[in-house]
Structure 1
Amino acid sequence: MHKIFSFGFWNSIARLILRNRIIIIVLIAIATFLLSTQWKNMRFSYTEANLMPDDHPVNVSYNDFLDKFGEEGNLILLGVQDSALFTPEKFKAWNELTKKLTSYPEVDHIISPASLKELKKFEDPQRFEMVPVLESKDPDSTQLKEFENKLFTELPFYENLVYSSHSNTIQSAIYLNKDLVNTKARKIFVLEELDPLIEEFEEDQGIDVRVSGMPYIRTLNAQNIVDEIGLFILAALIVTSIIFFFFFRSIRATLISMFTVCIGVMWAFGVIGLLHYEITILTALIPPLIIVIGIPNCIFLINKYQQEIQKHGNQAKSLQRVITKVGNATLMTNLTTASGFATFILTDSQLLREFGVVASINIIAIFILSLLIIPVIYSYLRPPKDRHLKHLTKRWIGGFTNWTENMVRNHRIAIYISSIVLLIASIIGIYTIKISGSILEDMPKNTTFFKDVKFFESEFDGVMPLEILIDTKRPQGVMKLSTLKRMDELEQFIQDIPELSKPLSVNRLAKYSKQAYYNGNPKYYQLPSSQERNFIMPYAKSLSSSDGLMQSYVDSTGQFARITTFMKDVGTEKMEEIENDLLPQIKKIFPEDRYNVSLTGKALLFQKGTNYLVRNLIISLGLAIFLIAILMAWMFRSFRMIIISLVPNLLPLLVTAGVMGYIGVPIKPSTILVFSIAFGISVDDTIHFLAKYRQELKANDWKIKRSVYAALRETGVSMFYTSIVLFFGFSVFMISSFGGTVALGGLVSATLLFAMLANLLLLPSLLLSLERSIANKEVLKEPAMKIIETDEDENDFRTEDEKN
């Protein structure tokens, strides 16, 4: 009865599709149009992806910092390493450039050499005032030479803020409006205003300008993602269509498949817009992913249609059998693939949840589209000619299946030894894998902005802000000399860490006050003593509103202070070492009963987020394996078959992990995705093989050897076709300029290729070696779902139908 219902269901689906072709075409067109109207809701992220939930302690601490001091990542840096800048013509041009930039609403203020001010002491009344370092608005060569000398020798306050302590590099700091820095206005300003102005300056003055800072990096990085979406889609279409044509030698079949996956891509964009998700480096992968996963669906359906035409030439019967015989198998393989992606939904990471939702929805959508579009289009076309069916009897494909059969028949021991050696080597390699939380590692290495980042790292010791928030637990507690001395002790410790830059804090202003009190003598750039503080305080009272220097590093109550240092892009492991060095020192310098001190900032946020994401991805992989094992148990009703089916799919994952360890590819958000994606796809081959194997067992009176070889010959060709498409399809991602995307493409491709070999060699070998324990009706019970229908099933159904 179950068998009749199973075939009856798919037979009903076949009749529904073939009898309502016009309605289906209209419904697909309407759905495509409605989803296309949602494209306008797609938006690109203007902030770094939040890798952790909002209530995570690290996020809570960071948001507390932002509440007190505002957005920290609002600084764009313009650097020049050219002494020609201090010539009248070029200095004037630079000054005009910075003035023009100041006029934009996106810019809050700019610290630039021409606008620098120095702290000076005045009497009657006693006060400090910030006065221009360069008094002349149109300085000559002599004045500029004096200014350059004074800047580098007498103004330590501006060290690593305006000039580099390593060379004569000068930088201008553009502070963006904190309300606009995380909006579309930032993108427009950077791409349409800032970049053209800098290019014009470089062309006119012959000076190379380096540009960096988190807002600039984020903008160009996001633009690269946008540019690559179109590139990936085009490349995926070209590669898969060439391979498809090579296999089928039919322009018509190729165009139908391309049309199907293009509709799938349009739906993918529509779903992203409908859900109002942002385009991130992960969701940007989904449209080409749909192409790569959709093409195997087309291969299965078109291949079966052509096999049926070759067998009996009846087009109507062929189309019906395409749906009834292949529909169930492709549904289950797409469900397992979607399950692999759907496990990301169960993580606490918003970035992964959105990726999992969109990917799983669209994988099911491309299955539905394939099942509807291909039979409907072929129903309006003439049956394929003999020349279009020649690929079904290609000798080289026969040679491949003969090789696999020979290996399984005569070299099983070699297969087992090879598998064990690979397993041991992989486990050794896994122990050498490192986790990477580097924000720059995946960025395009050949871009100008990446080279500029490295330039600022070498000249100014880093671009990633690391913040230390100090709560003195009492109003005006920051300006107490005891607090300033503690801060200075911590800053001295930070300076000794090579990966961190010279810190910025209110201490700079306190030291500068003493220098100014002693008439600008740079040797007095240090914290005042208790006695000196009494003399300096009458002068310093006027500084509370001077150019916002105090407000940047002390809150309005005087209770909270920040120490800002910039970090080189050192990765997770080194970052953890630095954190482990800093935290004990902080506790030692700032007693916990008098101070609350916390580490935060973009650098720490990204490192913690990476570790959090990797843990979530490992959990999601475990869930994917468990979920697919449950599906296999439901389909085959056999615990032993679950174990046998998981072995050839887990081994390729372990081999890939081992290879990553040997070649030095770290575990990071982009590469950890490899395992869930590859496992969800590779298990499809296992389902096809085992379904065919069980079918052959019944047909061959439970003779296991005959059944294994028959299943191998039958499924080997389709496994080979789909694996080659997937291999080259995922290889498309290797043209990316992002290192993580390149690694993702290469690793998934290699894993799927190895998974094909494991399913064609190791899986049948295990079945043959364990034949006594599995080749019986008790172990291989009637499955909960018929995966592959047979002609016998069809006849049974028709007989029953006739009886009714």
Structure 2
Amino acid sequence: MVSGRKPSGFSNTLAQLVVEHPWRALLVPLLIVLFAVPGLRGLAPDSTYRAYFHEDDPLRLQVESLERRFANDDSVVLMVHNPDGVFNPRTAKLLVDLTEEMWRVPDVVRVESLSNYRWVEAVGDDIAVDPLIADDGPFTEEFLGPRGEAALQHEIVPEYLLSTDAKTALVIGFVRPGDELSSPAPGPVIEAVREMIDRHRDPDHIFHITGRVAVEHALMESAQRDMQAFVPVLLFIMALILIAVFRRIKAAAVPLVLVILAVVSALGIAGWLGVRISNITALLPQFMIGIGIATSVHILNAYFAARRNNYSKPVAVQHALAINAVPTVLTAVTTAVGFFSFMTSNIIAIGELGLVVGLGTIATWFLIYFFLGPLLVLLPERSKKYQGGKAPLDTLSIGPRLHAYVGFLSSQKKLIAAGFVGLIVLALTVAMNNQVNANPFRYFAEGHWVRDSNNFAEEHVNGAQGMEVVINTGVPGGALEPEFLRQVEAYQSWIDTQDGVVKTISIVDILKQTNRSLHGDEQSFYRLADDREALSQLLFLYTLNLPQGLDVSDRITAEEDAVRISVKWTLYDSALATRSAQQILEYGEGMGLNVETTGKMLLFQKLNGYVVNSFFTSIGLATLLISLLMILALRSVRLGLISLIPNIVPLVIGAAALVVVGKSFDIGTVVVMTVCLSIAVDDTIHFISAFRRGIVDGLAAEEAVKRAVKEVGPAIAVTTLVLVCAFGVFTFADFVPNQTFGFLAIVVLTVALLVDLTLLPVLLLLLYGTHPARAVSQATVREPVAAEVR
């Protein structure tokens, strides 16, 4: 036998079941996979707002109200640049062709460009509303030259459809609003626009694609491309390290197959539950790989330690499974509970991620014990004669270096503890300087097409993004009351003066232009009419000449009870955008207007405001639940509370590291830190469980720490090495959130290793070092883990 202590029933029964009936045990993972695989058909990507905001979320309701009453503000923007200017015959004809083809792009329901912008001008005593560049021309210098000069002097066209140097023109395609059944997929839209560019590409023109539809597509495209490129590399690195450490092919092959099954199982569960694959839930593979490898390494470490001590394969497997049964169950439960706590988040994707990873963690535990365990028994191993009756594994010799190391920790425990307190205070001080912020264009590395396009847009047309302001009257027809429109005009003029605002567009601009044209294009009449009847006539005259698909329903509601101001700005940072939107909202309310600030881009910028609430609520609840579970499982309040410290410290230092490298908290960094927490919890539980076994066996605290370091230290180190090297490859990704994932994995997991092997032993020595082992209450430290293997 490996130990003289009587094992717990659960641990030994489980281990014996696997060792004595390996083929039957394999039925468990088979059933899990058979259940999961059909669920894969239910997986579907969704990068729209519906993957993040609940149906009753006020921000979502505002956007959907905007879509119903006006139109969708989601757009794809095609920029056409000619260094010689766009008002020449060839470029003008190109703009006409591109405008016509944009109408045929999937889900595009409205197109605006220089080609179809409605030019309002006086014709005798009447007005004419004609396209700025008609489909049938004329495409001559004589015609286009004056049109270009007039366009640059126009109140709306410059920096909306044309750069101020007349060298860049925009073709804007607005996509249809979503409905209860579906939302427009950005992929087909962007691919169709790319095909348009390919058909018209020539040396004289430069093309760029931007707009929120482009950002939406690029986010999913980049995340998927990085997964396809780096997950195989990640698995390959894991295999190399496991082979190098354990010097066995099966030490790499079995865990890799296991984590693949864990990923498939989690994705299958997601499919069955109808979880949509967003940029957040797309992190599932990394989460399951990390959780699966961390637990597998502890079992492999115990197994190969027994083999090196010359125990037979069945005995070594039974020992490894028995000694790790309760710690791995406790890890699985605490990790699952931690992730389940994310279901309280008001962000759908985070809640769905928590649900699936929680269930996936439980499924992974069953896969590990009923797949890894049986294969260790069944797979052949190089021949060797084994002798029974070796020394118990719990009393393996502890080398002089380990003696010296733990002796140093014991002698300097107060100094080390004080040093960590100072480090934690410093890290907290630094971390407090961070802010919740995100810039969607900074999610892409330099050279990425979306980032290059946005840089081009900022340089030539002052950007192409913004938000929407809806002003309600609450009365049908109230939007055409002169007093109301004068208030809107004053409000719009104030918005134009705000930092970052490039241009605003509303029905007021159209009414003022039409009024001027009706009075012979005299500039003094560029103002609102004085009475409601005149305003109604101006609107009627303007709309009378509009073609189908280009009416004013995007500026004033059909009931004429609300108007919309489109605000184009260069505020891409979520912190700046949300702050400015709040100021605009408050100013409008101060004028007595019923105002809403909304729009798809602003919606996602406000999403980061939910991160703080989601993070602290979920982490707080997870910490509370995990601490209670640890106290109950360890049957010690002191050990339960101590176990939390090594898990929180790496997160605090990771948060400080983000500040040092100039990264802000956003939805991605918060979620990434969660997987690091789950792995840190795993290592801490194994260390404390090993320490408790020593205390129960009658060892003094220092000797129990030595045994814990000897028993689980190598597994903790190998787990950290594997995951740091494997996840670290993501620092080379194109998608910046994946770069952050790699960076945080390196920092948090490395710090977690140092804390588990320094601060945690010091805390245990401080609390138990003054008491001999026999003075420790057996009720307090009752051993839950079996180590006996016959």
Q: What is the TM-score when the length of structure 1 is the normalising length?
A: 0.88
- Residue 177 of structure 2: aligned partner: 178
What amino acid does structure 2 have at the position aligned with 1:489?
A
Q: For the residues of structure 1 that align with 2:453 and 2:557, how far apart are their CA atoms?
A: 33
- Name the SS of the counterpart of 1:440 in structure 2: helix
Q: For the residues of structure 1 that align with 2:183 and 2:402, how far apart are their CA atoms?
A: 56
- Cα separation, partners in 2 of 1:182 and 1:195, compared to 1, 3 Å: farther
Q: For the residues of structure 1 that align with 2:58 and 2:118, how far apart are their CA atoms?
A: 40
- Cα separation, partners in 2 of 1:381 and 1:48, compared to 1, 3 Å: same
- Residue 102 of structure 2: aligned partner: 101
Q: For the residues of structure 2 that align with 1:387 and 1:468, how far apart are their CA atoms?
A: 80
Q: For the residues of structure 2 that align with 1:786 and 1:323, how far apart are their CA atoms?
A: 16
- Residue 673 of structure 1: aligned partner: 671
- Cα separation, partners in 2 of 1:525 and 1:641, compared to 1, 3 Å: farther
1:720 aligns with 2:717: yes
1:344 aligns with 2:342: yes
Q: For the residues of structure 2 that align with 1:4 and 1:768, how far apart are their CA atoms?
A: 24
1:642 aligns with 2:644: no
Moved over 6 A (4+): 3-6, 397-400, 533-537
Do the aligned partners of 1:21 and 1:376 also contact (CA within 8 Å) in 2?
A: yes
Do the aligned partners of 2:43 and 2:275 also contact (CA within 8 Å) in 1?
A: yes
Q: Deviations over 1:44-84 (max 9, x none)?
A: 11413554433333333333333312322145343425335
Aligned residues: 773
- Residue 561 of structure 1: aligned partner: 563
Query: Deviation at 1:510?
Result: 0.9
Q: For the residues of structure 2 that align with 1:681 and 1:669, how far apart are their CA atoms?
A: 20
1:542 aligns with 2:541: yes
- Cα separation, partners in 2 of 1:387 and 1:565, compared to 1, 3 Å: farther
1:744 aligns with 2:741: yes
Taking every aligned residue pair, what percent have the same amino acid on both sides? 20
Q: For the residues of structure 2 that align with 1:587 and 1:185, how far apart are their CA atoms?
A: 34
Single out whichever of 310-319 and 665-674 deviates more from structure 2: 310-319
What amino acid does structure 2 have at the position aligned with 1:256?
V
- Residue 114 of structure 2: aligned partner: 113
- Residue 509 of structure 1: aligned partner: 510
- Name the SS of the counterpart of 1:277 in structure 2: coil
Single out whichever of 54-63 and 241-250 deviates more from structure 2: 54-63
Query: Deviation at 1:152?
Result: 1.6
- Cα separation, partners in 2 of 1:176 and 1:57, compared to 1, 3 Å: closer
Single out whichever of 191-200 and 613-622 deviates more from structure 2: 191-200
> What is the root-mean-square deviation in Å for CA atoms of aligned residues?
3.1
Any stretches of 5+ residues in structure 1 without a counterpart? 796-804
Query: Deviation at 1:4?
Result: 9.9
Query: Deviation at 1:403?
Result: 6.7
Single out whichever of 36-45 and 175-184 deviates more from structure 2: 175-184
Q: For the residues of structure 2 that align with 1:115 and 1:62, how far apart are their CA atoms?
A: 27
Q: For the residues of structure 2 that align with 1:34 and 1:360, how far apart are their CA atoms?
A: 17
Do the aligned partners of 1:635 and 1:784 also contact (CA within 8 Å) in 2?
A: no
Q: For the residues of structure 2 that align with 1:476 and 1:138, how far apart are their CA atoms?
A: 40
- Cα separation, partners in 2 of 1:175 and 1:763, compared to 1, 3 Å: closer
Q: For the residues of structure 2 that align with 1:628 and 1:781, how far apart are their CA atoms?
A: 23
- Cα separation, partners in 2 of 1:440 and 1:172, compared to 1, 3 Å: same
1:331 aligns with 2:329: yes
- Cα separation, partners in 2 of 1:116 and 1:427, compared to 1, 3 Å: closer
Query: Deviation at 1:207?
Result: 1.1
Query: Deviation at 1:504?
Result: 1.1
- Name the SS of the counterpart of 2:502 in structure 1: coil
Q: Deviations over 1:407-426 (max 9, x none)?
A: 41443344234213212211
- Residue 799 of structure 1: aligned partner: none
- Name the SS of the counterpart of 2:129 in structure 1: strand
Q: For the residues of structure 1 that align with 2:625 and 2:724, how far apart are their CA atoms?
A: 25
User: Which structure features the higher share of helix residues?
Assistant: 1
Question: Counterparts in 2 of 1:312-391, with a 5 A limit?
Answer: 312-384=310-382
Query: Deviation at 1:30?
Result: 5.1
- Residue 195 of structure 1: aligned partner: 194
- Residue 478 of structure 1: aligned partner: 479
- Residue 581 of structure 2: aligned partner: 579
Do the aligned partners of 1:443 and 1:739 also contact (CA within 8 Å) in 2?
A: yes
- Name the SS of the counterpart of 1:266 in structure 2: helix
Single out whichever of 450-459 and 767-776 deviates more from structure 2: 767-776
* Correspondent of 2:707 among 707, 710, 715: 710
What amino acid does structure 2 have at the position aligned with 1:194?
V
Q: For the residues of structure 1 that align with 2:772 and 2:52, how far apart are their CA atoms?
A: 48
Q: For the residues of structure 2 that align with 1:242 and 1:189, how far apart are their CA atoms?
A: 40
Question: Counterparts in 2 of 1:489-504, with a 5 A limit?
Answer: 489-504=490-505
What amino acid does structure 1 have at the position aligned with 2:655?
A
Q: For the residues of structure 2 that align with 1:776 and 1:249, how far apart are their CA atoms?
A: 38
- Residue 239 of structure 1: aligned partner: 237
Single out whichever of 272-281 and 222-231 deviates more from structure 2: 222-231
- Name the SS of the counterpart of 2:111 in structure 1: strand
Q: For the residues of structure 1 that align with 2:622 and 2:561, how far apart are their CA atoms?
A: 49
- Residue 12 of structure 2: aligned partner: 11
Do the aligned partners of 1:500 and 1:566 also contact (CA within 8 Å) in 2?
A: yes
- Name the SS of the counterpart of 1:418 in structure 2: helix
Do the aligned partners of 1:112 and 1:162 also contact (CA within 8 Å) in 2?
A: yes
Query: Deviation at 1:586?
Result: 0.9
Any stretches of 5+ residues in structure 2 without a counterpart? 387-392
- Cα separation, partners in 2 of 1:310 and 1:427, compared to 1, 3 Å: closer
Question: Counterparts in 2 of 1:782-793, with a 5 A limit?
Answer: 782=779, 786-791=783-788
- Name the SS of the counterpart of 1:38 in structure 2: helix
* Correspondent of 2:267 among 266, 269, 280: 269
Do the aligned partners of 1:464 and 1:602 also contact (CA within 8 Å) in 2?
A: no
Do the aligned partners of 1:457 and 1:568 also contact (CA within 8 Å) in 2?
A: yes
- Cα separation, partners in 2 of 1:528 and 1:183, compared to 1, 3 Å: same
- Residue 169 of structure 1: aligned partner: 168
Q: For the residues of structure 2 that align with 1:387 and 1:431, how far apart are their CA atoms?
A: 60
Query: Deviation at 1:447?
Result: 0.8
- Name the SS of the counterpart of 1:348 in structure 2: coil
Do the aligned partners of 1:442 and 1:738 also contact (CA within 8 Å) in 2?
A: yes
Query: Deviation at 1:254?
Result: 1.4
Single out whichever of 88-97 and 365-374 deviates more from structure 2: 88-97
- Name the SS of the counterpart of 2:440 in structure 1: coil
Single out whichever of 618-627 and 327-336 deviates more from structure 2: 327-336
- Residue 141 of structure 1: aligned partner: 141
Q: For the residues of structure 2 that align with 1:127 and 1:400, how far apart are their CA atoms?
A: 97
Q: For the residues of structure 1 that align with 2:118 and 2:648, how far apart are their CA atoms?
A: 65
Do the aligned partners of 2:403 and 2:706 also contact (CA within 8 Å) in 1?
A: no
Query: Deviation at 1:519?
Result: 3.2
